[in-house]
Chain A
Amino acid sequence: MKSKKDKLTRRNFLKGAAAGTATLALPVGTSDASVWEAFFQKHFRELNKDEVADVIKRLEEEYKEKYKKDVKVKTTDAQPGVLFSYGLDLSRCIGCRRCVYACARENNQSRDPQIHWISVLRFEQGEKFVSNLEEADKYYYPEKVPEDGHFYMPIACQQCENPPCVKVCPTKATWKEPDGIVVVDYNWCIGCRFCMAACPYGARRFNWAAPQIAKEEVNPDTHYLGNRPRYKGVVEKCTFCIQRTRGNPGRYPACVEVCPVGARKFGNLLDPESEIRYCLEHKRVFRLKEELNTAPKFYYFFAT
């Protein structure tokens, strides 16, 4: 592969960097049809049923070859009458970061380079938080948590009702689903990272290198718009564990399930009986950076 590229380079360099590199980026001369199918794959929302089936088949074959196991890629649609929402009880969070690692395992985040969708911020009592996070510390490594005189605030995608990342994407590769989850089509994203500049919550991650996960650690239960293994050069983010939560009955997101202190709440905002509605009605909740009018569906509160 290397030598082929070099040869192309020499032949092409006079034609100019643009032409030369465009040629290099394309899988010239390959006999493998799936490479071309991937190249010409349409935007996910423009595919018809048969085309979706073809794409899923191709992806499952690709993953099988790469990870030597059957990876299921679902395309479950949003359920009617559902708007997902999240609650986080700051008085309970102990900053253990179990959610961070459970999320990475569940959602097939790259282990090297390491990608985490959840950032846990540590504050000393009395430090500023909410609208100014300048005093936050993301890199804390104590022997034991919780530490005296500190509190913690985990932050992931806030699943805004008015998401600035969606507005700026030049290719419509990211959008808000009917159940309120902001998703990315990893096969359509061009990696311009405009969404990362636009996100006020530092929720988006870029695959700066080819993502790496050990074969035995790959979670085979995946969703096209969620935790299926990603590619080099595309953006990814929290999807409220779309592969789990979009089911009937659905499952809780991995972070909710793993939280040892029950600080994390999740449910349907449109269901008056849901736990999240209980929190909204009985606790004093707040959302991050309200001044930006992003209308997050992620609520923080203090239960005690």
Chain B
Amino acid sequence: MFQLAKNFFVFLSQVTKGNKYYFAWIGFLSLLVLLGLITYIKQLDNGLIVTNMRDQVSWGFYISNFTYLVGVAAAAVLLVVPAYLYNFKPIKEIVLFGELLAVSAITMCILFVVIDMGRIDRLWHVMPFIGNMNFPSSLLAWDIIVLNGYLAINLTISFYALYKMANSKEYNLQIIKPLILLSIPWAVSIHTVTAFLYNGLASRPFWNASILAPRFLTSAFCAGPAIMIIIFQIIRKVSKIEIENKAIFKIAELVAYAIGINLFLLAAEFFKEFYSGSVHLAPMEYLYFGLHHHNNLVPWMWTAMIFNITAFLIFLRPQTRENLFTLNIGCVLVMTGIYIEKGMGLVIPGFIPGTLGEIYEYGPSFNEKMITIGVWAFGALIYTLLLKCAIPVYTGELRFYKPEGSVGNQ
């Protein structure tokens, strides 16, 4: 037991070792977290009135970011599938970093929901057993369960693997494989449940369309792996870990399919709404053309459209997909495109026009932006620290026991 605690401390102490760039990065993120926290205290003090949300648009930037990040977290599964099911070795070696990203993304998701609550002091009301959870009726109760479950699964898998590696042992697939297999449908479930959260509301025609959940999943499989591709390149640049181009290009190929399907589903949505032209067209019209001279989101949506189509072309052509420069451009385009489309572009038109026909143009306030940046910085900080601990274990620099001929172990 003592040994375990000591080992854990050795593992954690990795975060205190690093060059000046590492500390500058940590310092920078901590500063942003601190600014976000100070702004959040202001929000706690004054209420959510410091945001631009109002009764007409009762969810805004926080919930938009939450939705996007659920997708990022779910996309870790895309790495797990080929790695474990088909034993595709180049990806298998790096799947751990995907799982750790899922852990960070889910943490951010939970934070975004928590900062959006009016009464954080009553958080315990939604906890299973001690609170009064409206299960199975409320999809939010489902979401709490699946998100926390997903966090637990990914934490268990990655820490188990790291622990075994640090002890110079092969990890036992017998033990961990059921969990890995479970994580695949679970990743699909976190995204489906989040989609159903919106999808089940008959009062909001823009969300109340069956295409919502499928589009959630495909768009997640665009943005999540694109983020991974960028992160892998950073990891292999700043550490001794070798990540083969082969793995990156394989992921890029999967992204190409995902963007293709996502664009197809968008086209299907466009056709249905604009051709039938019913009253339910209004939110789509608001998004892409503006409604009664209200057009805040129009430039954003077309930007997203252009970004996604350009990214599709880049990912589709093997020449541009397998060229790191163009590939990275494609990744940034699709990450941004999906962020717009599935963040604000999904949440806001649910409320515009409102149920009583009112149009309230929403854009996040300064406070909302500060707090949001703080949460993102917190997520990046967690991910950095997790990687800082995991990488030395992964490369073999950190071992609790020397494989043979070791001295002084008890």
A residues lining the B interface (CB < 8 Å) = 5, 9, 13-14, 16-18, 20-22, 24-26, 39, 43, 46, 113, 119, 121, 131-136, 138, 155, 164, 167-173, 188-194, 196-202, 204-210, 231-235, 292-293
Chain A residues touching B, majority SS: loop
A-B contact pairs, 26 of them (CB 8 A): A17-B33, A21-B115, A24-B44, A132-B357, A138-B358, A164-B202, A168-B137, A168-B138, A170-B126, A170-B141, A188-B125, A188-B132, A190-B118, A190-B126, A193-B116, A194-B140, A197-B203, A197-B351, A202-B356, A202-B358, A208-B48, A208-B51, A208-B53, A209-B47, A233-B119, A235-B118
Contact residues on B (Cβ < 8 Å of other chain), bracket: 35 or more
* B125 cross-chain contacts in A, Cβ below 8 A: 43, 171, 173, 188, 190
Chain B residues touching A, majority SS: helix
| Smallest Cβ-Cβ distance to A27: which chain B residue | B121
The 7 A-B pairs of least Cβ separation, nearest first, read A191-B118, A233-B118, A200-B203, A133-B357, A170-B140, A209-B49, A208-B49
The residue from B46, B55, B114, B115 contacting A196, defined by CB atoms under 8 A apart: B55
Q: Are A168 and B204 in contact (CB under 8 A)?
A: no
Q: How far is the CA of A201 from the CA of B357 in the complex (A)?
A: 10
B122 within 8 A of A: yes
Q: How far is the CA of A198 from the CA of B37 in the complex (A)?
A: 30
Q: Are B138 and A169 in contact (CB under 8 A)?
A: yes
B residues lining the A interface (CB < 8 Å) = 30, 33-34, 36-38, 40-41, 44-49, 51, 53-56, 58-59, 110-111, 113-123, 125-126, 131-134, 137-141, 144, 197-198, 200-204, 279, 282, 350-351, 353-358, 374-375, 378
The residue from A16, A171, A193, A201 contacting B355, defined by CB atoms under 8 A apart: A201
| Smallest Cβ-Cβ distance to B36: which chain A residue | A17
Q: Are B117 and A21 in contact (CB under 8 A)?
A: no
Q: Are B132 and A232 in contact (CB under 8 A)?
A: no
Q: Shortest Cβ distance from A156 into chain B, in angstroms?
A: 11
The residue from B138, B279, B354, B358 contacting A194, defined by CB atoms under 8 A apart: B138
Q: How far is the CA of A172 from the CA of B132 in the complex (A)?
A: 7
* A189 cross-chain contacts in B, Cβ below 8 A: 118-119, 122
* B353 cross-chain contacts in A, Cβ below 8 A: 134
* B197 cross-chain contacts in A, Cβ below 8 A: 194
Q: Are B354 and A202 in contact (CB under 8 A)?
A: yes
Q: How far is the CA of A138 from the CA of B358 in the complex (A)?
A: 8
* A231 cross-chain contacts in B, Cβ below 8 A: 119
Q: Most A CB atoms within 10 A — which of B36, B116, B119? A: B119
Q: Are A132 and B279 in contact (CB under 8 A)?
A: yes
Q: Shortest Cβ distance from A296 into chain B, in angstroms?
A: 13
| Smallest Cβ-Cβ distance to A174: which chain B residue | B134
| Smallest Cβ-Cβ distance to B350: which chain A residue | A197
Known pairs A25-B120, A132-B279, A207-B118; A17 contacts B375 (CB<8 A)? yes
| Smallest Cβ-Cβ distance to B114: which chain A residue | A18
Q: Are A190 and B47 in contact (CB under 8 A)?
A: no
Q: Are B201 and A168 in contact (CB under 8 A)?
A: yes
Q: Are B55 and A206 in contact (CB under 8 A)?
A: yes
| Smallest Cβ-Cβ distance to B198: which chain A residue | A197
Known pairs A171-B131, A190-B125; A201 contacts B118 (CB<8 A)? no
* B34 cross-chain contacts in A, Cβ below 8 A: 13
* B202 cross-chain contacts in A, Cβ below 8 A: 164, 200, 292-293
* B201 cross-chain contacts in A, Cβ below 8 A: 164, 168, 197-198
Known pairs A9-B41, A26-B121; A232 contacts B356 (CB<8 A)? no
Q: Are A207 and B47 in contact (CB under 8 A)?
A: yes
Q: How far is the CA of A190 from the CA of B115 in the complex (A)?
A: 11
Q: Shortest Cβ distance from A9 into chain B, in angstroms?
A: 6
Q: Shortest Cβ distance from B359 into chain A, in angstroms?
A: 9
Q: Shortest Cβ distance from A83 into chain B, in angstroms?
A: 22
Q: Shortest Cβ distance from A295 into chain B, in angstroms?
A: 13
The residue from A9, A22, A191 contacting B119, defined by CB atoms under 8 A apart: A191
* B351 cross-chain contacts in A, Cβ below 8 A: 197
Q: Are A197 and B132 in contact (CB under 8 A)?
A: no
